[in-house]
Amino acid sequence: MTVGMHFIPGGSFLMGSDIHYPEEAPARRVVVDGFWIDEVPVTNREFATFVAKTGYVTVAERAPDPAAYPGIRPEMIRAGSLLFTQPDRPVPLTDSYSWWTFSFGACWRHPQGPQSTTAGRDDHPVVHIAYADAEAYARWAEKSLPTEAEWEYAARGGLESKPYAWGDELEPGGRMQANYWQGTFPWERLRGEGSAGTSAARTYAPNGYGLYDMIGNVWEWTSDWYALPPMKAHGAACCMPRNPRGGDESKSYDPCMPEIRVGRKVLKGGSHLCAPNYCRRYRPAARYAQPIDTSASHVGFRCVRKAD
């Protein structure tokens, strides 16, 4: 059952980065055992097959339980998901509410709002996926979600300590290597080679392991609870962590919102909304803490299978 997957041989690599965002540091050497990983993120076509066979209903398609969200306004007890809405003018980059809207009716079937469909987008990554949705699909497919270390190791494609999955330059020879924002985020989107939103899998060249869209297009869930990396970077072979995992749920809560006790998992890879002027997370080392109950129009996933 490894059709559409690539085997990644085990080995050691330098995980994280000392020269980009602080939550990526320190760069530290770790060891990962071999595993299989999906060649592309799970697509709308694949997710639709899962839903047809199981009757699964995603988190974005269910109204929230008021008991789980004390103080929730009655008008917000409706199904929906976070949707990117492009402003028509420059806005402060500190105000994400200028481009994010909770859209009632947005879900994987309606990726760009309640009036949209997935028609013509069968090969695009499925989006509006909460962590429970990704886990449910993985179980059905007899797979699992990758750890952060597995995901990053695979994304690097065999390159050591390079900032990008394809080497040292963001656009070698002036050519885009992934689907990320072109123009001034969030109000100016230059079409060019970029896609207005997600792009079909295999639109851009694969990395050194033959994997597509490990960078850009959609953020991807990992199975690790979010935690800052260990402060000490191990270098000696005897001390290298093997198959490292993240923290625990209780320590993954957002310290800026102590009243919200929702665990956060690590997202990897960046998305079509990452931009040079705002979010330069279109790199293997980049990471983001996402609440497990939150889906959005730029979040998807892919699966792994452990080697026998």
One-character DSSP codes across 224-261? EEP-PPPSS---SGGG--BS---B-GGG-S-TT-TT--
Which residue(s) pair with 287 in the sheet? 268
pLDDT at 307 over 70: yes
Distance, in Å, from the CA atom of 125 to the CA atom of 177, rounded to the nearest integer, reads: 17
pLDDT at 42 over 80: yes
Distance, in Å, from the CA atom of 129 to the CA atom of 139, rounded to the nearest integer, reads: 15
Distance, in Å, from the CA atom of 145 to the CA atom of 300, rounded to the nearest integer, reads: 11
Give the pLDDT of residue 190.
84
pLDDT at 68 over 90: no
pTM: 0.95
Length of the chain: 308
pLDDT at 231 over 90: no
Phi, psi at 54, each rounded to 5°: -115, -20
The predicted-structure confidence for 188-201, as pLDDT tens digits, reads as follows 988 654 456 999 99
**Which of 46, 34, 50 has the alpha carbon at shortest distance from 304?**
34
pLDDT at 238 over 80: no
Give the pLDDT of residue 94.
94
- Asked if the 1-60+125-308 domain carries CATH number 1.20.1050.10, the reply is no
Measure the CA angle with vertex 232, ends 228 and 233; round to 5°. Answer: 100
Q: Is the dihedral of CA 73, 111, 275, 208 positive or negative?
A: positive
Which residue(s) pair with 264 in the sheet? 291
- Token pair listed for 277: 């002027």
- Looking at 146-246, list the stretches that DSSP marks H as alpha helix, in order from N- to C-terminal side: 148-156
The predicted-structure confidence for 81-100, as pLDDT tens digits, reads as follows 999 999 999 999 999 999 99
Distance, in Å, from the CA atom of 181 to the CA atom of 170, rounded to the nearest integer, reads: 12
Confidence at 202, pLDDT banded by 50, 70, 90: very high
Chain-wide mean pLDDT for the chain? 94
Q: Would you call 131 helix, strand, or coil by DSSP? A: helix
pLDDT at 230 over 90: no
Phi, psi at 7, each rounded to 5°: -85, 130
The predicted-structure confidence for 107-131, as pLDDT tens digits, reads as follows 999 999 999 999 999 999 999 999 9
Give the pLDDT of residue 70.
84
Give the pLDDT of residue 195.
55
**Strands 264-268 and 287-291: what pairing?**
antiparallel
Q: Are 186 and 86 in contact (CB under 8 A)?
A: yes
Amino acid type, 183 = G
Q: Would you call 219 helix, strand, or coil by DSSP? A: strand
Q: Is the dihedral of CA 83, 85, 86, 87 positive or negative?
A: negative
